[in-house]
Amino acid sequence: MSKVVDKHESLLMKNNPKILVVGGSDAGLSAALRIRELDSSITPIMVLADEYPNFSICGIPFYLSHEVPDYWHLAHRTRSEIESLGIEVRTSTRASAIDPKAKTCRLRLSDDSEEEVQYDQHHWHRSRIC
């Protein structure tokens, strides 16, 4: 417990601390929302390999059977709703390497270019290897 408190206190020492959340489905968004709930001064940066943040994967069979006509209706929240909650959303962005000591993560963007982001903490929420 004291380690968690120490980590939180050292995060608060920073100006606009950022927590990197890899994955933007159920687990990733839950983590990002909880971070904001616990401390609204922290910006979660949620990166996801696909273009569909907070989609109901469980709803795919209902789309395939035409019970849900538009697959965008499978989204629990729209991207702009998520962003309005203080979460930075990076879609079509794949985390390809992480250096926990340097606190950097290499991101591969949809045009195949690469970018390195600096973070204060990271959370890894990808259940499948993409």
Ligand X SMILES: Cc1cc2nc3c(=O)[nH]c(=O)nc-3n(C[C@H](O)[C@H](O)[C@H](O)COP(=O)(O)OP(=O)(O)OC[C@H]3O[C@@H](n4cnc5c(N)ncnc54)[C@H](O)[C@@H]3O)c2cc1C
Strands 94-99 and 104-108: antiparallel
Binding map of ligand X across residues 40-79, x = CB under 6 A, - = no contact: -------xxxx------xx-xx------------------
- Determine if 125 is a binding residue for ligand X (CB under 6 A): yes
Distances (CA, A) of 59 to 31, 33, 54, 127: 21, 22, 12, 17
Tell the smallest beta-carbon distance from residue 126 to ligand X (Å).
Answer: 3
Instruction: Name the residue nearer to ligand X (CB basis): 22 or 87.
Output: 22
- Determine if 127 is a binding residue for ligand X (CB under 6 A): yes
Subset of 94-123 contacting ligand X (CB under 6 A): 94-95
Residue 84's identity, in one-letter code, is: S
Instruction: Name the residue nearer to ligand X (CB basis): 41 or 110.
Output: 110
Backbone φ and ψ for 118, nearest 5 degrees, come out as: -100, 135
Instruction: Please state, in angstroms and rounded to a whole number, the distance separating the CA atoms of residues 119 and 130.
Output: 22
